[in-house]
Amino acid sequence: MSTSDRVKFVMTINTLIHLGAGPCQELEAHLALDPKRLILVEADPRQAEKLTALIQDDDHVSVRNLAIAATSGSVTFHRYNLPDAGSLHQATRLQALFPGLRFQQTLTMEAQDPCAFVDSLELNPDAEHLLIVDLPGEELAVLQALHEGSRLHGFRHLQLHCGHEPLYASGEGAGAILDWLSGQGFDVVACDESRDPDRPCWTLRLNPLKLDCLRFQERIQTLELDKHALVEARDEQARLAAERQQQIETLTAEKDALAKSKATLTTARDEQMKLAAESQQRIEALTAEKDAFAKDKAALTTACDEQARLAAERQQRLEELTAEKDALAKNEAAFTIARDEQAKLAAERQQRIEALSAEKAALAQEKTALASARDEQAKLAVNAKAEAEKQAKLAAERADQLAQRDEAYSALRRDNALALRIQMLRESDLRDLQQRYAEVIEKKDKQEILLKQLTERLTLASSYLNQLEHHSNGNARTPEELTERTAKDTEFAPSLEPQQPSQSQAGCSEWPLGKLP
Pair 72, 196 in one domain: yes
**Greatest mean pLDDT among 26-30, 290-294, 398-402, 491-495:** 26-30
Report the C-alpha gap between 294 and 378 in whole angstroms. Answer: 10
Mean local confidence (pLDDT), 341-363? 80
Q: Report the domain count for the chain.
A: 2
CA–CA–CA angle 114, 120, 126 (5° rounding): 90
Mean local confidence (pLDDT), 436-462? 87
Pair 191, 326 in one domain: no
**Residue 290 domain-assigned (yes or no):** yes
Provide the pLDDT for residue 465: 85
Banded model confidence at residue 348, pLDDT cuts 50, 70, 90: confident
Of 372, 394, 418, the last residue of a domain is: 418
Q: What is the CATH number of the domain that holds 138?
A: 3.40.50.150
**Residue 348 domain-assigned (yes or no):** yes
**Residue 458 domain-assigned (yes or no):** no
Provide the pLDDT for residue 513: 36
Which of 2, 31, 196, 32 is CA-nearest to residue 40? 31
Mean local confidence (pLDDT), 281-290? 87
Pair 202, 279 in one domain: no
**Residue 122 domain-assigned (yes or no):** yes
Pair 409, 279 in one domain: yes
Mean local confidence (pLDDT), 116-136? 93
Report the C-alpha gap between 437 and 445 in whole angstroms. Answer: 12
Long-range contacts of 47-56 (CB under 8 A, 24+ apart): 47/21, 47/22, 47/23, 47/83, 47/86, 50/23, 51/21, 51/23, 51/24, 51/27, 54/24, 54/27, 55/27
Determine the residue type at 262. K
- For CA atoms 6, 12, 17, 18, give the dihedral sign: positive
User: Cβ neighbours of residue 62 under 8 Å, at least 6 residues apart?
Assistant: 37, 38, 39, 40, 55
Pair 197, 338 in one domain: no
Pair 70, 159 in one domain: yes
What are the residues facing 205 on neighbouring strands?
Answer: 157, 187
**Residue 198 domain-assigned (yes or no):** yes
Contact 60, 36 (CB under 8 A): yes
**Residue 370 domain-assigned (yes or no):** yes
Q: Give the C-alpha distances (Å, rounded to integers) separating 108 from 61, 104, 235, 380.
A: 27, 14, 60, 121
Q: What is the pTM of this model?
A: 0.45
Pair 189, 296 in one domain: no
More confident residue, 501 or 157: 157
Of 418, 450, 472, the last residue of a domain is: 418
Pair 175, 318 in one domain: no
Pair 184, 262 in one domain: no
Report the C-alpha gap between 39 and 82 in whole angstroms. Answer: 23
Domain span at 141? 3-206
Pair 304, 159 in one domain: no
**Residue 491 domain-assigned (yes or no):** no
What are the residues facing 15 on neighbouring strands?
Answer: 37, 129
Banded model confidence at residue 480, pLDDT cuts 50, 70, 90: low
**Residue 473 domain-assigned (yes or no):** no
Provide the pLDDT for residue 6: 44
Q: Where are the alpha helices (DSSP H) in 63-197?
A: 94-97, 114-121, 139-148, 174-183
For the chain, state the CA radius of gyration: 63
Which of 194, 197, 191, 187 is CA-nearest to residue 163? 197
More confident residue, 495 or 17: 17
Banded model confidence at residue 361, pLDDT cuts 50, 70, 90: confident
Of 401, 418, 435, the last residue of a domain is: 418
Which of 259, 269, 276, 274 is CA-nearest to residue 405? 269
Pair 195, 266 in one domain: no
Pair 100, 12 in one domain: yes
